[in-house]
Amino acid sequence: MTRVCAVLTAALAAAVALAPLASRAQPKDAPGEFVNKGNRPDSARATLASHKLPNLEGKWYYAGPFDNADKAGFDFAYPPEKKIDLKATYEGKGGANVGWKEFAGFKLGQLVDLQKLFPKVRTNAVVYLYHEFDAPRAYKWPLSFGSDDTLSVFINGKRVFHEPYTRPAAADQDRVEIDVKEGKNELLVKVCQDAGEWQVYVAPELPEIVPATIRKQLDRNFPPRGAVEAVASAKGEGTHYKMVTIPLAPDCVLEVGGLAFRPDGKLLACTRRGEVWLIDNPTAENPADVKMTRFATGLHEALGLYVETNNVVYVVQRAELTRLVDADGDGKADEYQTVCDKWGVSGDYHEFAFGPARDKDGSFFITLNVGFGGGHQAKAPWRGWCVKVSPDGKKMEPYAYGLRSPNGINFSPEGDLFYCDNQGEWVVTNKMHHVKKGAFFGHQAGLRWVKDSPFAGKVPDKVESGMRYDGVDKSGKQTDKYPELSPPCVWFPYGRMGKSVTEPVWDTTGGKFGPFAGQCFMGDQTNSVVMRVALEKVDGEFQGACFPFRSGFQCGVNRIAFAPDGSLFAGQTNRGWGSLGGKPYGLQRLVYTGAEPFEVHHINLMKDGFKFTFTKPVDPESLGKKPVSVSSFTYVYNSNYGGPEIDTRAETVGAATLSADGKALTVPVEGLRKGRVYEFRIDGPKSRDGENVLHPEAYYTLNYLAK
């Protein structure tokens, strides 16, 4: 009874607090109500107006461009940061005279193209945006932003947000809370342009002085579009997998390139800035008990590590595999030993190196990025290859080729080697490959090094000696004489299943992480999510399905690692690549709550359809006539940077049958074909407790038919 009274008292207090605002009703919308305008930003603004609160509508102004050469404009305080005077003029980029102008085309809740303001200025520039509003009282107000590139936010002369992004803009990338004062308020937004597109997104959210029921209704009807925790909460993911943010040391820029646990339970993280951090107590119940110290420094863009013992770790730098040794056991590396540096580096910024994965014999496997765009993308030897390094580092063997941006390589518990590649030229969308010796995976830049490999003679000489990427030899004649193309075991449909897939990692926790033990997980660096893959062998080859798993991370998920207690750590980075979530880097942890989700556990290909196995028994009354919708599509292999799904077809589905235990649903599908991705919508089935499938979408890559 006491709790009920407290709730009623709080509700009454909120109503009293809002009464002065609600008394001034508008003709169309009732005051104090949720106003549905069909999307989140418009509904938020209309709801704010119904409460007689400011909603950022009205005049916006801009001033610029100012200079951002060498990215110096981000921290340099130009005059608008010091004082707002809409009549003032300033010295802008290139000595030009600039002043404040009304931004007539500014649209709230949409991506706004800033390039149109300055058509002749396409790089190294700064613009300020200004809006003035009156508030009837003081309160805290969350605003939603997106930017390309950097973002700084000021309220009433105080800077409250300042992040040095390099990213494409998207809605809801950052949520910034401002302190609104009673009366006049000045909102200033600063966006610095590096190169490429130049956009900004601004939208208001509902402050806490709006009743919680209305705020929840906005989130329920229109979840935020960015990868923020509210999205995950709206999906119900947080009920099953709680997310914990690990606080970082004040001097730690944890742009994670590699993540692995030591035998003693401490966590090692290497970074793109060339450091290795040792994290004590990473699974502490109180994150404040986590301790971070530097284990090593001075490396060159470390993008992967392998722990051998508590005192020995191997790190892949851009140009070498390095062995770090803490000889005296004080938590700091004393020895930096070059194990192997036999692959080439030209200086192209895109020549990343990933790994190492290590087999049972102690050999290391490393994947090497190609260069980016123009000119030859494999200027240095073995770019676009997977290489095998002997345990002592004395021998490096070219192992497989045709890789583009293979951000992550790993062994399954059964000892099979896999890597994930990123969309780009010759790679129509993200994919996962089973790595076999001598396999060719499609990107043609690395073909120039076949002549120096164990596979020389297996590719036509004209290919090895410099055939153009578009399948034309030196004489201009079209040819298709390439190595046999090894298809991916899983395609990740672009956007729907991430945009920059990262390292595959298998759940070896024995059920501590929930019902998916033995399956594969990987992060996505752009969409800031973790995805799930369930593989099977058909006709002796791997293929299978990918599923969404957990969204809401604060930054791009570049590396994941299972802890001894069964939780999953996600190491994050944004710089240069861009990601949803609003933070430039970080470390978060997923903890299984024990509440088992109702999901499709895995999908098996049958001779005449597919079998869906669920984590819980299905209520047969929920199935209806068509519990699963099936369509399929395929892709074209060519040199374009990415590409569309083509030949999309609605598939004919027969009557589904449910197994006796209720967990397996077999769905006949007519005319199954190789070389296609089958897309499923599982909206019909409910569990016996009435739960909907948490993630009702899945994608199965069919390369081989069941016999």
Largest CA distance in the chain: 88
Beta strands 125-135 and 60-67 are antiparallel
**Which tens digits make up the pLDDT trace of 345-364?**
998 989 999 999 999 999 99
DSSP conformation class of 288 = G
Taking a C-beta distance cutoff of 8 angstroms, is the pair 440, 483 a contact?
yes
Confidence of residue 458 (pLDDT cuts 50, 70, 90): low
Is the per-residue pLDDT at 130 higher than 50? Answer: yes
Question: What type of residue is 150?
Answer: T
As a CATH number, domain 52-211 is: 2.60.120.1560
Q: Which contiguous run of DSSP H or E holds residue 2?
A: helix 2-22
pLDDT band at 237 (very low <50, low <70, confident <90, very high): confident
Give the residue range(s) of CATH 2.60.40.1220 domains in the chain: 600-702
Mean pLDDT, range 202-219, rounded to an integer: 91
Could you write out the DSSP letters of every residue in 39-78? SHHHHHHHHHHHTT---S-S-EEEEEEEE-GGGTTTTS--
Q: Quick one: average pLDDT of 150-167?
A: 90
Amino acid sitting at position 588: Q
Q: Is the pLDDT of residue 98 over 60?
A: yes
pLDDT for position 46:
95
Please report the pLDDT score of residue 616 as a whole number: 97
Cβ atoms 380, 402 nearer than 8 A:
no
Least confident window among 396-400, 448-452, 482-486, 685-689: 482-486
Residue 617: is its pLDDT beyond 50?
yes
Residue 389's identity, in one-letter code, is V
d(CA 206, CA 224): 12
Predicted confidence (pLDDT) per residue in 518-535, tens digit? 999 999 999 999 999 999
* Ranges 4-13, 433-442, 571-580, 586-595: which has the least confidence: 4-13
Helix ranges, 74-179 (H)? 79-82
Q: What pLDDT shows up at residue 105?
A: 86
Q: Residue 457 above 90 pLDDT?
A: no
pLDDT value at 635 more than 90: yes
Domain with CATH 2.60.120.1560 in the chain: 52-211
Quote the pLDDT of residue 288. 81
Mean pLDDT to the nearest integer, 106-118: 93
pLDDT digits (tens, 9 = 90+) for 74-95: 999 999 999 999 999 999 999 9
Q: How many CA atoms lie within 13 A of 15 on its CB side?
A: 6
CA dist., res. 257 & res. 463, Å (int): 34
Contact 573, 588 (CB under 8 A): no
Q: Burial code of 391-412, b = ≥16 C-beta within 10 A, e = fewer?
A: eebeebebbbbbbbbbbbbbbb
- pLDDT for the residue numbered 38: 87
Residue 482 pLDDT greater than 50, yes or no: yes
Report, at the CATH architecture level, how domain 233-341+348-372+381-451+497-592 is classified. 6 Propeller (2.120)
**What pLDDT digit, counting tens, does each position of 545-561 carry?**
999 999 989 899 999 99
pLDDT at 439 (0 to 100):
94
Average pLDDT, the chain: 88
Whole-number pLDDT of residue 235: 52
Task: Show the tokens assigned to 5.
Answer: 């009274």
pLDDT of residue 252 exceeding 90: yes
- Of 24-28, 77-81, 331-335, 608-612, which gets the smallest average pLDDT? 24-28
Using the structure block, give the residue that is written with the tokens 């130049």: 198
Query: Could you tell me what percent of the chain has a pLDDT over 90?
Result: 75
Task: Give the chain's length.
Answer: 707
Q: What is the pLDDT of residues 352-401, one digit of tens each?
A: 999 999 999 999 999 999 998 766 899 999 999 999 999 999 999 999 99
Confidence band of 476 (pLDDT split at 50, 70, 90)? low
- Left (φ > 0), alpha (ψ -120 to 50) or beta: where does 570 sit? beta
pTM of the model: 0.69
pLDDT on residue 481: 58
Is residue 163 classed exposed, middle or buried when 0-12, 13-18 and 19+ CB atoms within 10 A define those classes?
buried
Who contacts 616 (Cβ-Cβ below 8 Å, separation ≥6)? Answer: 596, 598, 663, 687, 688, 689, 691
User: What is the structure's pLDDT at 16?
Assistant: 28
Asked if residue 620 has pLDDT above 50, the reply is yes
Q: DSSP 3-state assignment of 452?
A: helix
pLDDT at 197: 80
Average pLDDT over residues 490-510: 95
Q: Which pairing describes strands 312-316 and 256-261: parallel, antiparallel, or unpaired?
A: unpaired
pLDDT at 704: 96
Comparison of pLDDT for 495 and 475, the residue scoring more: 495
* Average confidence (pLDDT) over 49-65: 96
C-alpha 545/C-alpha 610 separation (Å) is: 11
CA 694 from chain centre, in angstroms, equals: 20
Which residues on neighbouring strands pair with residue 668, listed in sequence order?
Answer: 609
CATH topology of domain 600-702: Immunoglobulin-like (2.60.40)
Say which DSSP state 249 is in: P
Q: What is the DSSP secondary structure assignment for residue 19, as one 8-state letter?
A: H
Does residue 539 register a pLDDT over 80?
Answer: yes
Alpha-helical regions (H) of 298-349: none
Look at residue 165 in the predicted model and tell me its pLDDT.
80
pLDDT at 234: 40
Contact 224, 230 (CB under 8 A): yes
Q: Which two tokens stand for residue 645?
A: 């799904």
Q: Which segments of the chain belong to CATH 2.120.10.30?
A: 233-341+348-372+381-451+497-592
* 643: CB partners within 8 A, 6+ apart: 428, 429, 635, 636
Eight-state DSSP code of residue 11: H
